[in-house]
Structure 1
Amino acid sequence: MGLFSIFKKADTLPPLTDDEAARLAANSEVERQQQAARQREIARATAMKIDAIESAMEADIFNQPEPAWGSQRPPRPATAATSAASNDDDLGDFPTTLLLDDEALPVVTADDSAPVVEEIAILYANGQQAVAQAMLAAAVAEANRLNSDRTTWWMLFDLYQVSGQQAAFDNLSIDYASTFETSPPPWNAPAALAAASPDWAGLTPTAALAGALDQHIAPQLERLRQLAVDNPVLRLEFSRVTDIAADGCALLLDALRQLQAQQRELILVGAPALATRLRDGIAVGRRDDGEAPWLLLLELLQLQNREREFEHTAMDYCVTFEVSPPSFTPPHKVAMAPAQHVSASPDRFMLPPIIENQLGALLPAIQQYADEYPALVFDCSRLTRIDYACALQLHGVLAGFEAGRKIAFRDVNHLVTALLRLLGYASLARIYPHKY
């Protein structure tokens, strides 16, 4: 077949012989392998370039030589056993603001990950998203054939979310569900939320509601309103609410509406569970507790962007109270976080969406946080990427704290988790990737 014959009209092309079809399939496989090899060479070249850059920066970061790529890494536990012991240390001696019951949560260990995961973590950390995405797609295809580890799946899910690729995310969800016969992770793009206040970092004002949701929550909500004056990001935790009263519903509803009117960025913990409790306590046609529980349920459904459930509940509300149903408004600057096993609300230091070039003003803020709190909890729910140099610099800062200092990284995406594990953070801190 001539070289230019492929450009002829389809109706003039003769059918391929069996031999030609076999050669075409073989050539396609060779090209795929060559492409994968080229991507790996790019990754290795990038790693070497990073080493050269950091050798020049070593005086500014650690004042000591940085080991070359592949020779040594920041200190890690000597064995898997010591790694497990480090990560399984009881946090029961934390202050009451910190986590006590962490056994139910996954902890990243310091075991070496597959080389391809390390290469992808470095590429993504240094802004080479397209190459990282191509390598992840190839790794997921290989994992799909082997039905093996899910790490690359979770990394690709996170990459699609932080880059706003919902269609690709949905396609991957279908493959994930059919491969592992389980529900895929929900779509929740942190990039849109992070754009609301991109440069903000620091302690996250939190109201952790516990026990009965009644008139006694008023002081906590008032304090949160006052903190909202100087803080663009606020956190509300509902995971320990055990009972609900109409007066408490009215107070919480008013606070939520006021904070949204002030354009504050909200992080809600345990909102789905609270919505379920509210739904269990109401019934169509029953007005005993008034409208507040219904309106709070509608508010929570709206904040979770659950439009279909909102519409159904709004019609039930309309029938019950014989009023016009409220209309659905998409949430603005609201994120959901999973419920966690905590004894009290941790005073978390929230990291910004992107950390690159140098820690800059983030460094003294972290130092001040460390001076005021004996145990440190870094909230990574808004963190989409930290570059290699900054991750090394932060590792050096944490390593400089006194021995035995309790440190935890919470709600870390799996791309950042792979980088932190690569750099030996598991020997300094407990790392909790967000759950899929």
Structure 2
Amino acid sequence: MAMSLFGKKPPEKGNSSPTSGARRANKDEITTTMDLTNLGDMGRALQAAAGKIQVSEGSHEEHAAVEEAAILYANASDDGACAVLEAAIDGAIGKASEELWLMLFDLYRLTGQKASFDARSEAFTQTFEISPPIWDETAPAPAVERKQSSAPAVNLSGTLSGNARPQFEQLARIGQKMGKLRIELTRLKGIDETGCALLNETLAALKRAKVEVVLFGAPHALTLIEPKLKVGEKTDQPYWMLALSLIQQTADADRFDQVALDYAITFEESPPSYEPPPVVAPEELAEVAAAEPEPEADVDRFAMTGVVSGNQPEALRQLAVYASQRTRVEVDCTQLKRLEFVSAGALFNQIAQLQGQGKQTLLFRPNAMVAALLRVMGIDQVAEIERRKAETGK
């Protein structure tokens, strides 16, 4: 499926345009890089969304600022997100979009920066000739920032093929922004030759960008491709290259040397050199599970509140129960302070599965920082997002 999950806005009603290169994903193929567990539903959901993609207005620089700030905030880097938005607005010389301003105002509120909020209000009024947003005295207290954010995690499952290229391009972009990445391979059922080539290409790009990559489940993935490694037969070279990468991740230098020698004999060319895998502190890869408040009972909308974190947050389990008895799933995000990057991937997966079951999902009025992340992650392609109206002092 030829689609990018960055910098788009939800399609307007009755105004959809086909996306070139869209194609049907096979049931067992990887169609995204975000923790997929039901690839049949996911493939259908993404296929349905592909024809509705539109390119949002605005400069490339502004799209990049929105994307970067949303990801930084999702990974608890509040200062980094604030710096990106302030630089984008100041660098635009009065031409920055209202979206950037509203993201910055919401970030000030979420982090308790009232002095900065007030200082920017006058400039907002001069730029847009309307009253600035109102400081919300009931805004929740700033969240305690983790000393280290967890590495973005990607779970691959099903059969990896070349159809996953758009999602792997996204994967490379995320890795380059975060500087580290975890790719879990334990759920893979198979890897075809185009999938091998794609993964090799992605790993090479991440290496050039000096991104720290950890492949979990490398021994399992190796068992899937070992039958293709036939010494003396000049075929299936992508399998050999991937095998060498996987063996490096196991830190088995002796085995690497043997396979490298077999590679040299088979293809009559020098194999890659052995490089020890990165040493990653366990706490940097741990997914911190924050306590999720229980949703209110007997309400029309499911309430998602506070900070949602981890790759299987309790809030999403509760959402699944709520959604099981409804054809239209409405999620109240008004009190959702932060949706972490890993949780956003899990949310994408869950909503796409609901869409594949014929269910519609509405995410009701998330704050501007969360709303930007939802668009960055492509969640706006599988769910309707009702944006907050700017709360001004008119």
The normalised TM-score by structure 2 is: 0.46
Larger Rg belongs to: 1
| Structure ranking higher in helix proportion | 1
TM-score by length of 1: 0.42
